[in-house]
C-alpha cells in the first residue's frame, strides 16, 4: 500500500476547494448586494465610504486560490511568513464586511449616528450565517419595499 503525502491529500480535496471558492463568491455577492443597497439609502451625511468595502469584497475571493496553491505545496517557514499576513488580511476583510453591512442596516433604519453597541445584534447575526439571515434579510426586504413604495408614489418607475 502506498503512503499518502500531504500533497496527495491536498489534491484529493480539489472538489472541496472548488466548492469553497464558489460558496465564498456567492457569500460575497450577497454582501455586495446588501452593502451597496443599504449604503445607497443611508443619508449622505451618515454614509460610510465604499472604497475599502469594495476591496474587502474582492480580496478574499482572490486570496482563496492563492491559499489553495500554498496548501498544495510543501510548507516552508518562509511561506508561513508570507501566508500568515495574507490570511489575516482576508479574515479582517470578512469582519469588515460584517461591520459595514450591519452598520449600514442600522443607519438606514434609524437615520442617526450609531455606535457598535447599536449594530452589534445584526453584526453577530450575520457572523453566524446562515442562521442570522432569517433575522437580517427581512429587515433589508422591508427597507427595500419602503424605498420602492416611496419611488412609486413619487412617479419614478422602479425597474
The pLDDT tens digits of the residues spanning 64-105 come to 888 777 766 766 777 777 788 888 999 999 999 999 999 999
Contact (CB, 8 A) for 140 and 105: yes
Whole-angstrom distance, CA of residue 62 vs CA of residue 1: 38
Whole-angstrom distance, CA of residue 15 vs CA of residue 70: 16
Which grid cell is 94?
Answer: 470578512
Across the chain, what does the average pLDDT equal? 83
| pLDDT of 46 | 87
pTM > 0.75: yes
| pLDDT of 10 | 61
Amino acid at each position: 500500500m502506498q503512503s499518502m503525502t500531504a500533497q496527495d491529500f491536498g489534491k484529493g480535496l480539489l472538489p472541496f476547494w472548488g466548492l469553497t471558492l464558489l460558496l465564498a463568491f456567492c457569500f460575497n455577492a450577497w454582501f455586495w448586494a446588501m452593502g451597496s443597497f443599504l449604503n445607497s439609502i443611508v443619508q449622505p451625511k451618515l454614509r460610510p465610504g465604499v472604497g475599502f468595502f469594495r476591496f474587502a469584497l474582492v480580496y478574499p475571493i482572490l486570496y482563496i486560490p492563492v491559499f489553495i496553491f500554498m496548501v498544495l505545496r510543501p510548507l516552508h517557514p518562509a511561506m508561513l511568513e508570507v501566508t500568515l499576513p495574507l490570511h489575516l488580511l482576508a479574515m479582517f476583510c470578512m469582519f469588515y464586511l460584517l461591520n459595514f453591512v450591519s452598520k449600514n442596516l442600522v443607519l438606514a433604519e434609524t437615520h442617526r449616528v450609531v455606535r457598535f453597541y447599536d449594530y452589534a445584534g445584526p453584526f453577530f447575526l450575520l457572523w453566524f450565517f446562515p442562521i442570522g439571515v432569517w433575522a437580517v434579510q427581512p429587515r433589508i426586504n422591508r427597507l427595500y419595499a419602503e424605498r420602492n413604495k416611496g419611488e412609486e408614489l413619487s412617479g419614478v418607475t422602479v425597474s
